Structure 1
Amino acid sequence: MDQRLSFVTLAARDLAASRRFYLDGLGWRAALDVEGEVLMVKVADRVVLSLWDRDAFEAEVGPLADGPGLAPLTLAHNVATREEVDAVLATARGAGADPVHPGQERAWGGYTGYFADPDGYRWEIAWNPGPIGQEVLP
């Protein structure tokens, strides 16, 4: 098996709200948009973010766990500067992201903040000055 990731698929409770957030709010473009079913956005070379209607997602993959707290994952968007972290967080807030945790210096030497999409999935916006952080920048 090749060492790669092709799709990140998230279940959306309200696909229309996700569409408004990602396309209208953040300004992303859909690669595939089937109203009421799925929204796919190419987020990197050979990587797609797929937002599925939650019921259709559950019908295909099986029962989903619900409960208090956050989903045990984060999605990350790395940028080249500290200032870009704050700018992206401001854009997310303007798109309706809530909560938004402001950027802050991290013990490991970077600067990061977080926002939540309409389903509560957390996006980390990060400036990582180390080699692995530079490797993921375009």
Structure 2
Amino acid sequence: MTDRPAAAIAIITLGVADVARATRFYEALGFVLSRGASQDTISFFRAGGVVLALFGRDALAHDAAMATTSAGPFGGITIARNLPSPEAVDAAFAEALAAGATALKHPEKVFWGGYSGYVADLDGHPIELAHNPFFPLGPDGTVTLPD
């Protein structure tokens, strides 16, 4: 027996060009800002079972001891927001565009049996908006994975 805690993602931090601007964008998408934990240089949002953080891109690279070289248009990661229906995906897609997101892929039926589309946030981070009929959602939007 070990005292090692279960593997879990607690916080996803996005490096952004302007924390205040990115904060307004994510608030417009319906994410709830933790005013008690956030500061001018970092914002924390409740995001179901994880926390979404926004931190200056250069400061985040410095903190990780990495160079701030520009990656290609795709950085190898997306974040996803699962929704209860295809109609909710369409509504969230329109809401994101109204908040300033860029359309990457309009919502459509996808090969795995769901419905999804992609937008890019103000810093180009891709966000998938999806309905997955195989992953039930809790009242707080968290995904229930099958055993």
Q: Structure 1 length as normaliser, TM-score?
A: 0.87
Identical columns (%): 33
For residue 136 of structure 2, what is the aligned residue in structure 1? 134
Higher RCO by CA contacts (8 Å cutoff, separation 6 or greater): 1
For residue 140 of structure 2, what is the aligned residue in structure 1? none
Residue among 14, 26, 29 paired with 1:26: 29
**Structure with bigger gyration radius:** 2
CA RMSD of aligned residues (A): 1.6
Q: Report the residue type matching 2:130 in the other structure.
A: A
Q: Structure 2 length as normaliser, TM-score?
A: 0.82
The DSSP-based 3-state class of the residue aligned with 1:104 is strand
1:107 Cα offset (Å): 1.0
Kept in 2, the 8 Å contact 1:89–1:100? The answer is no
Structure 1 runs not aligned, ≥5 long: none
Comparing both structures, which one devotes a greater share of its residues to helix? 1
1:40-119 maps to which residues of 2 (within 5 A)?
40-45=44-49, 47-62=50-65, 63-119=67-123
Q: Report the residue type matching 1:134 in the other structure.
A: P
The DSSP-based 3-state class of the residue aligned with 1:34 is coil
Q: Report the residue type matching 1:59 in the other structure.
A: H
For residue 39 of structure 1, what is the aligned residue in structure 2? 43
Partner Cα distance (2:86, 2:101) in 1: 20
